[in-house]
A and B are shown apart, each in its own frame.
Chain A
Amino acid sequence: MENVIVERVADFLKQFPPFQEIHSADLHKIAAQVRVHYVPKRNFVFKEGDPAHTEFYVVQQGAVGLRSKSRSATAWIDICDEGDILGLRPLFADQTYAMEAVAREECVLYAIPIEAFKKVLANNQAVMDFLLESFASNTRNPKASEAKGKLLSANYASNEAQSTDLDFFQQAFYTKNPICLTAKATIQKAALLMNDHKISSLIIEENKLPIGIITDKDIRRWVATGEMQIADKVSEIMSSPVKCVPPTIHLAEVQTILLQHKIGHLCVTQDGTDQAEIIGILSEHDIVTAQANNPVALLKQIERVSKLESLTRIRESLSSLLEAYLNTALPMPYIMKVSGLITQALMHRVIELSEEKIGKAPVKFAWLGIGSQGRGEQLLLTDQDHALVFEDVSDEELETTQAYFLKLAKDVSRVLNELGYVFCPAEMMASNPKYCLSLSQWKSQFSKWIDQASTQNIMMCSIFFDYAKVYGEADLVKQISQHILQKLKGNQKFFAYLAEDAVKNPPPLGFFRQFIIEDDGEHKDEFDVKARAIQPLVDAARVLILAEGIEGKNNTVERFEKLIELEPQNEEVYAGCIKSFHVLSKFRAVEGFKNNSSGRYLELSSLSKSDKMKLKRAFKPIQEIQSLLKNRFKLSYFL
């Protein structure tokens, strides 16, 4: 017979993770054993050091604050509201609570007996993973590093992500039993074989292990030019070693490898190394056929097109490609890499076309992307942010030289605007005479920003320190970098300013109704994910990498990766930052594509509980990195 109480309890629970994952029959069994607690405001659910209860709690109504006396008697570690889980400790760890839980307002808690729940856990790994993460994200006890590790590595994929279009997770399909040849065979034999089978490449094997590869291109390059003879051995012209991948590789990974290594073929082996038996070959063509609008194809097209309409079409394809990627569970690092590479190529092509139109540059120059473009972190259409540096010229020539580059920059900027990258409202563009300077002028500009630390100048630094060459002479860029690093070396005062700026926006504690909602006019009831969460990570990575004196790392993730290498003792914090950065960037991009906006403001009411939890977890590393900054740069004297 239907039991309305059990029904109600189950109905409530199933709105929230991990109960969503639990089979209805099991959920009803759990619901039938729930104990309903009423906790008046300011009463304790449990205290620090209390022996563990035999149950854990789900907040049904109200809000429970968690704090730890041993850390700070006043600061809340977390606030749990409707649907949040607390008191998981007895499920995983010691027999006493490490925190106290206090009702911040009157609460109704559904208590779930741990014994009853363990039975369900035993055959549901997804639920177990979720609880572990939930436990870890509520744990600020540094000793609980085991659980914390889970927070970083366990990639909790929600139900929706698993059931949606899995195209991009598909294993790349490769040609099995590829045609192979030994190294001793002649080039002619290879060519005939390729003709017979109408293929564009051959794997060169030795005892079934891949030792090289030859392609159409190699034959063109070496034989057709007369440098080699058709009677020469294939070993003379083959590319070696061969890049190998395992058969389980995703399409997306294949794309990234092909892009990164600028190659057209991959050999598939049992374990993905060249020390294992060949089982197949994967060509760029395989991928192209797998996906019409794929990054490789877009990149190829960019090199060929010259009309504005075609560039616009490619830019639009990029957006729809990214949007499709974001809707799948495709890992963010791939998405960001693909986006960065294509955006870069597109900009490069635009400048190249403008230079063709306006006439060759009188001296060497470099076009710099700055801000998020400089970091290669753009997913959405953003404002243009760029600058230009040209070789030093004599004083007499300076004006005309700058005039040329301003003209070039105006044209590039106009085209970018038509492509959808609107003009920068703050005019941080190469078409602005202030940011179209000779090498010496740039050097003195940076010196000025560094020497005269002010809020304004620190802001300029944080924008202009993230630059990357989009087009032109790498050497000019290198000289600027070296100048900056020299100016910064041992400049504790400047780093303190920069670090202070990086911690000015503390991360929100969590999601608690009005807690982190922005209260300024237009974006009321929304959360500024850029300023409150992404920017602090970007700023932290910048100041840390500059303080280490590392040149040429302009991307937030790469910066943290480098920092892990340099400071393995802080790996946990930095790895957490990388993960957070990806999660936050994804939220922003998804929001941006959905509303055709900058994605900067998240509408809280539209977020699901599991999204909120993901966001909340992403805030934790921000807290950690900021306290690391405060310690390292002795900010307590400043703040």
Chain B
Amino acid sequence: MNWFKNLFSNIKDYPEFWQDYLAEFKQPNPQRVVVLDCETTGLNPSEDKILSIGAVALHENVICVEDHFSVFVKQTFHQAESVAIHGIVNNKKNKLDTEKEAIKQLLQCIGSAKIVGHHIQFDIEMINRALQHMQLPKLKNKVQDTSDLYLKYKGIHQPIQKSLDDLCEEFNIPKKDRHTALGDAFLTAQVYQRLVIQ
């Protein structure tokens, strides 16, 4: 019954960071795009959790290394196989934040920018679920999927599945730091550049 609750609740009931986030949309900066990637415990949004989020921004299609974001989330349960892929285990040297803290920082980073990612709907879904746990509405940002952009770029109409690895190979982008959120975000940002700059 969330919609019902939202409908009647006053916007001022939301925490300050969410209000700051909303305020960003009043003066959007269309030149800024944030490329984002989440590492999760699995591929099922209803069961799995976010382990880390990495993001890097482009300004006028130039990747700005300085404008990046990276957070590791403290989760109470871990699935062994996901650890094998992402190498994220509890008690690693990385400082872990609570999910709430991580989402708060994420909102600060993305602001009103368009969010770009490879198969980004999954990441958005994961973030929206986290927001839901915090009794907050969904993300308001525009979203663009690099796999959709790729089909457009190629002029293909029937959907085909291309992984980030496939695209990196096709565009001759050296694959490094695959399966770290920030590393994947950086690779995706480079793919994005090739898809939008002509």
Contact = CB atoms under 8 A, between A and B. Distances in A.
Query: Does B associate with A?
Result: yes
Taking chain B's interface residues, is the majority helix, strand, or loop, or is none over half, making it mixed? mixed
B16 interface: no
Contacts of A36: 62-63, 65, 189-190, 193
Interface residues of B, number: 24
A133 B79 CA distance: 55
B187 to A, nearest CB: 10
A40 B197 contact: yes
A29 B163 CA distance: 33
B64 interface: yes
Nearest to A7: B177
B162 interface: no
B56 interface: yes
Contacts of A111: 62
Contact of A33 (B66, B70, B182, B186): B66
Contact of A1 (B63, B70, B186, B197): B70
Interface in B179-195: 180, 182-183, 186, 189-190, 193-194
Interface in A48-70: 61
B9 interface: no
A503 interface: no
Taking chain A's interface residues, is the majority helix, strand, or loop, or is none over half, making it mixed? mixed
B99 to A, nearest CB: 18
B172 A61 contact: yes
A236 B197 CA distance: 87
B169 to A, nearest CB: 14
A35 B180 contact: no
Given A5-B186, A8-B176, A40 B66 contact: no
A567 to B, nearest CB: 49
Contacts of B76: none
Contact of A4 (B95, B172, B182, B197): B182
A4 B183 contact: yes
A5 B62 contact: no
Contacts of A33: 65-66
12 contacts: A1-B95, A4-B177, A5-B65, A5-B186, A32-B66, A33-B65, A35-B64, A36-B62, A36-B189, A38-B194, A39-B197, A40-B198
When A and B form their complex, which 5 residue pairs have the shortest distance between CB atoms, in order from nearest? Answer: A36-B63, A38-B193, A4-B177, A4-B183, A5-B186
Interface of B: 56, 61-66, 68, 70, 94-95, 172, 176-177, 180, 182-183, 186, 189-190, 193-194, 197-198
Given A36-B63, A36-B189, A38-B197, 8 more contacts: A3-B68, A3-B70, A5-B182, A5-B183, A5-B186, A35-B64, A37-B62, A37-B63
